[in-house]
Amino acid sequence: MELNKSNIKLIFGLKLKQLRQSRNLSLSELANHSSLSVSYLNEIESGKKYPKSEKILALAEALSVSYDNIVSVKLNKSLAPIGELLDSNILKQLPIDHYGIDINKLIALLANAPMQLNAIVSTIIEIARSSEQSRNIFSKTALRIYKEFNDNYFYELEKRVERFREENKLTDIIKIGSKKLIELLTNNFNYSVNTKNLSNYDELFLLRGVVKRGAANKIFTNKLLSQSQLSFILGKEIAYNYLEITDRSYLYPSSNLDSFEQLLNNLNASYFSTALLIPKVNIEEDFDNFLKLKKWNNKFLLNLLKKYQVTSEMLFQRISNIAPKYFQINKFFFLRFNCDVNSDKYELSKELHLNTHQNPGGYHSNEHYCRRWISICVIEELKKKQKDNPNTEQHIIGIQKSKFINSNDEYLSISIAKSSRIKNDAFSSVTIGFLVDSDLEKKINYLNDPRIKTREVNDTCENCNLTNCMERVAEPITVQTQAKKENIKLAIEKLISESS
């Protein structure tokens, strides 16, 4: 078992408490036997302090155990799951302290829990350790829940962005642009930007950027980036420096983010960059006008992309920040899908759910997402257009009312698809879906535009029992398995009733 100093203190404290209680000693009684104070023993047992050798020896003698036994990190059966939990990476991947939970108190609570609960803890650890993929899922899920917990709006970051704009005389500038961002990085944080050398290395062609820190900082960016993609990276680099974040990845896109703190730092830098490039006061006005459109008009979104010179993902992310806070539209999902041109597999690489059921979504799914989702439809349309004209560079925007047959939830789903500028034959889409209810009907004027089609959708083909679906790409295995179980159950009940 490999434990850091903090965890060793926790383990020692738990063992000491367990040994004391097994001998029916109170803290004051152990204090008398060991010549240590009650307050000091309490700090040891709570994992706050680790005693020196002579004090450990006094405790060992008072408890009639060997020195080696008491300092060993080897745990008995009842505490073994706690050791596994500390030894795993799970606690680093969870936003425990950000929810106001004291890790020491949580461990103490688990240590005193029944064996049945410890069995559950062990099971969770085993699942989370099963593969690198599951650990990534664990981290992503923890971050998603953290964002949902905060309604995807972070007041302190918004204030820091406003302060940065004021300090750098940007308050009247809407479209900052990469040229200005390079100037800010150079003057404020001693950076130079190199857009050529990255392409000299075949192994790095998929990277968007590499950062070298030192007396003179450098950022190497991929020359194939669009201006909006370049601006986002430069904005993130400004954020890391302005927010004084050091626990981070120095690659774009970020990699090896194996702790929640790193994931959160990445989120903060991304949020800062997006808020910097899309000022709150401006996007509030634009989103208000978007809601007031009398008829659906996809050109409105295209104009916003040009106005701010940002990616479609940045635009939708910014809308997902301000919609709950300033428009009380707080029931929606956000999705990002990736797909290769010759593949029928769609990867859900990012998701957010605010006050909605978990449909659609699920990083963990190896099943086939419903092909009726507008997220997938716009990518398919873009694939076809690029097949007919390989040189075309465009956004495909789609809208539909998606009605989930299992839950009857209906969403106004708006999606934008684009092709990758770096990876040939790769596509992605971002989607924001607002739950249709009486509140939304009052806020979106074009909600009942007859040109917006309503489609029945489901989560995945494997979980869908629709018999007339022309878009199905996989058999309803999960539904069939469940039906088989139900038939067996009914048959057993019939057997019992007829034989009585």
The pLDDT tens digits along the chain (500 residues) read: 445 667 788 888 888 888 888 889 999 999 999 999 999 998 888 888 899 999 999 999 999 988 888 887 666 666 666 666 666 666 655 556 655 656 666 666 666 655 555 566 666 666 555 544 455 566 677 778 788 888 999 999 999 999 999 999 999 999 999 999 999 999 999 999 998 889 889 899 889 999 999 889 999 999 999 999 999 999 999 999 999 999 899 999 886 666 678 888 999 999 999 999 999 999 999 999 999 999 999 999 999 999 999 999 999 999 999 999 999 999 999 999 999 888 888 999 888 888 887 777 665 567 889 999 999 999 999 998 888 877 666 899 999 999 998 888 999 999 999 998 888 789 999 999 999 999 999 999 999 999 999 999 998 898 888 888 899 998 999 889 999 999 999 999 999 998 86
Which 8-state DSSP code applies to residue 460?
Answer: B
CA-to-CA dists, residue 117 to 82, 130, 295, angstroms: 11, 20, 55
Q: Which residues contact 71 (CB under 8 A, 6 or more apart)?
A: 12, 56
Residue 231's Cβ-count burial label (10 Å; 0-12, 13-18, 19+) is buried
Say which amino acid occupies 300: F
CA-CA-CA-CA torsion sign (126, 129, 135, 137): negative
Look up tokens 């495909």; give the residue: 396
| Residues 207 and 196: beta-carbon distance below 8 Å | no
Say whether 425 sits in a helix, a strand or coil.
Answer: coil
Rounded to the nearest 10 degrees, the angle between the axes of helix 155-167 and helix 227-242 is: 100
Q: How many Å apart are CA 372 and CA 369, to the nearest integer?
A: 9
Q: Which CATH number fits domain 5-130: 1.10.1660.10, 1.10.260.40, 1.10.1510.10, 1.20.120.450?
A: 1.10.260.40
The pLDDT of residue 131: 47
Dmax over Cα atoms in the chain, in whole Å?
88
Q: How many Å apart are CA 317 and CA 267, to the nearest integer?
A: 11
Q: How many Å apart are CA 125 and CA 87, to the nearest integer?
A: 10
Within 231-303, strands assigned E span 251-252
Q: Phi then psi for 300, rounded to 5 degrees? A: -60, -45
Say whether 386 sits in a helix, a strand or coil.
Answer: helix
| Residues 433 and 354: beta-carbon distance below 8 Å | no
The pLDDT of residue 132: 45
Q: How many Å apart are CA 171 and CA 169, to the nearest integer?
A: 6
| Residues 471 and 457: beta-carbon distance below 8 Å | no
The pLDDT of residue 219: 96
CA-to-CA dists, residue 83 to 80, 103, 257, angstroms: 5, 14, 23
Q: How many Å apart are CA 281 and CA 304, to the nearest integer?
A: 14
Q: Which residues contact 5 (CB under 8 A, 6 or more apart)?
A: 50
| Residues 247 and 262: beta-carbon distance below 8 Å | yes
Look up tokens 């192994």; give the residue: 203
Does an H or E element contain 184, and which?
Answer: helix 177-189
Cβ of 128: how many Cβ atoms within 10 Å? 18
Does an H or E element contain 397, and which?
Answer: strand 396-404
The pLDDT of residue 332: 94
Alpha carbon distance, N-terminus to C-terminus of the chain = 58
| Residues 296 and 452: beta-carbon distance below 8 Å | yes
Which strands sit side by side in the sheet containing 209-212, from one edge to the other?
191-194, 217-221, 209-212, 251-252
Q: How many Å apart are CA 266 and CA 254, to the nearest integer?
A: 8
Q: What does pTM read for this prediction? A: 0.77
Domain range list for the chain: 5-130, 155-277, 282-461
The pLDDT of residue 104: 66
Q: Phi then psi for 381, rounded to 5 degrees? A: -65, -40
- Residue 360 preceded by cis peptide, ω within 30: yes
Q: How many Å apart are CA 244 and CA 389, to the nearest integer?
A: 46
Q: Phi then psi for 296, rounded to 5 degrees? A: -60, 135
Calculate the dihedral angle through the C-alpha atoms of 85, 249, 155, 358, rounding to the nearest 10 degrees. Answer: -60
